[in-house]
């Protein structure tokens, strides 16, 4: 009913005025033809209600008076006789009073309805502003986090790794001096060199994890391939990356979010899913670019929890930031499939496939 009323409100005042007067004319004609023995007073409320709701109190009062005049005039024209002139006057006053009460009720209800609509619109606008502000803050926090991770990764690579490399050279010099004197501590110095070199490798992997994707278009493919190899080595699982055709991501932010989604999905598969085989795929077509991570773990619980985990929410949020569609579901054969689909944009295309 409410949508129908909304459609009617779009009509002009002229249409409502004409309709209300036409209704009075039609009902008055029927009232005249049926004689004064039958009363049609209640049917005039249709025109009065239409005028009160859409045209305001003033015109509704006019229609009320007009309805009484038409009804009384029709009865007199059909030969109605009254014992006293006060009788039709009294009937007219009663009818007008009844119509005016209806007009007052409808106009009050209409006023309340408009006030409620205004409040709803204000509240909706406030909620939209609040949601937009929250999304803006979340994006800024995420961007700040990404910048800090890149900075820390760069510092690890430029500072800590260089310092450890210098330490390795110093220990190697010490080892050579000890070996020249045939001292047994030379072998221990060699072990220290090996430990420092392991520390260098670990620091480089940490730096790569904090700043994984290069600015080049093929940086995402290379980063995912390296991440899959490192995950296999570190967590003793089979983690593979497949990409049948080169998928070039020209937007660095998009590539970074896709990598983080894959990173989070692999981490969830290993920590929570207890997976031993993980497949990362990157596919592209003319319609979309799809990143998928599939594992053979225990899968998501059935039914899915109402409050999804932080990892799933972060992945969904990252997907939304780049205009993607995120989905995580339990596979029938077991395990979990996580996908992020980016539809191609014909006007301002950030993703290109070559």
pLDDT tens digits for range 84-98: 888 888 888 999 999
Instruction: Say yes or no: 105 and 227 in one domain.
Output: no
Which pLDDT value is given to residue 2? 53
Q: Return phi, psi of residue 186, to 5°.
A: -65, -40
The residue written with tokens 């080595």 in the block is 233
Instruction: Say yes or no: 228 and 342 in one domain.
Output: yes
Nearest by Cα to 212 from 158, 269, 153: 153
Instruction: Say yes or no: 123 and 217 in one domain.
Output: no
Which pLDDT value is given to residue 350? 42
Which pLDDT value is given to residue 212? 66
Instruction: Say yes or no: 118 and 217 in one domain.
Output: no
Ramachandran bin of 291, using left for φ above 0, alpha for ψ from -120 to 50, beta for the remaining angles: beta
Which pLDDT value is given to residue 211? 64
Torsion angle in degrees (nearest 10) through CA of 128, 132, 133, 134: 100
Residue 280 lies in a domain: yes
Residue 186 lies in a domain: no
Which pLDDT value is given to residue 3? 60
d(CA 314, CA 316): 5
> Residue 100 is part of which domain span?
2-129
pLDDT tens digits for range 12-71: 788 889 999 999 999 999 988 888 778 888 899 999 999 998 888 999 999 999 999 999
Which pLDDT value is given to residue 215? 52
Instruction: Say yes or no: 231 and 123 in one domain.
Output: no
d(CA 337, CA 351): 23
Which pLDDT value is given to residue 7? 65
Instruction: From 129, 164, 183, give the residue that closes a domain.
Output: 129
Which pLDDT value is given to residue 5? 58
CATH number of the domain enclosing 225: 3.30.565.10
CA angle 280, 283, 285 (to 5 degrees): 170
Residue 6 lies in a domain: yes
What are the mean pLDDT values of the chain's consecutive 10-residue runs (354 residues total)? 60 86 92 83 91 90 93 84 83 92 93 90 91 81 75 76 83 84 84 85 73 68 89 90 90 87 92 92 91 92 64 87 90 90 63 42
Instruction: Say yes or no: 123 and 220 in one domain.
Output: no
Residue 84 lies in a domain: yes
Instruction: From 80, 98, 129, give the residue that closes a domain.
Output: 129
How many structural domains is the chain composed of? 2
Which pLDDT value is given to residue 352? 43
Cβ–Cβ under 8 Å, residues 291 and 282: yes
Which pLDDT value is given to residue 68? 92
Instruction: Say yes or no: 114 and 235 in one domain.
Output: no
């Amino acid at each position: 009913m409410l949508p129908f009323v909304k459609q009617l409100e779009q009509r002009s005042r002229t249409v409502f005025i004409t309709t209300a007067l036409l209704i009075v004319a039609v009902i008055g004609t029927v009232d005249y033809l049926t004689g004064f023995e039958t009363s049609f007073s209640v049917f005039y409320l249709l025109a009065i209600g239409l005028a009160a709701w859409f045209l305001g109190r003033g015109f509704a009062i006019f229609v009320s008076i007009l309805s009484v005049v038409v009804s009384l005039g029709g009865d007199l024209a059909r030969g109605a006789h009254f014992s006293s002139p006060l009788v039709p006057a009294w009937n007219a006053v009663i009818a007008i009073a009844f119509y005016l009460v209806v007009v007052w009720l409808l106009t009050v209800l209409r006023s309340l309805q408009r006030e409620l609509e205004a409040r709803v619109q204000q509240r909706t606008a406030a909620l939209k502003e609040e949601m937009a502000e929250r999304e803006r803050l979340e994006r800024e926090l995420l961007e700040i986090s990404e910048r800090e991770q890149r900075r820390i990764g760069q510092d690890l690579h430029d500072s800590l790794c260089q310092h450890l490399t210098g330490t390795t050279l110093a220990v190697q010099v010490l080892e050579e001096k000890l070996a020249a004197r045939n001292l047994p501590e030379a072998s221990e110095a060699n072990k220290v060199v090996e430990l420092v070199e392991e520390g260098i490798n670990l620091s480089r992997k940490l730096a790569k994890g904090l700043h994984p994707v290069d600015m080049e278009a093929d940086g995402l493919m290379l980063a995912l391939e390296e991440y899959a190899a490192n995950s296999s080595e570190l967590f003793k699982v089979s983690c593979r990356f497949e990409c049948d055709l080169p998928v070039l991501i020209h937007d660095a932010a998009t590539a970074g979010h896709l990598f983080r989604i894959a990173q989070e999905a692999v981490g969830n598969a290993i920590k929570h899913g207890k997976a031993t085989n993980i497949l990362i795929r990157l596919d592209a077509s003319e319609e979309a670019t799809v990143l998928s991570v599939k594992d053979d773990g225990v899968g998501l619980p059935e039914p899915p929890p109402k409050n999804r985990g932080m990892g799933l929410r972060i992945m969904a949020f990252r997907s939304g930031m780049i205009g993607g569609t995120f989905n995580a579901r339990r596979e029938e054969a077991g395990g979990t499939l996580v996908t992020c689909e980016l539809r191609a944009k014909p006007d301002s295309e950030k993703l290109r496939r070559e």
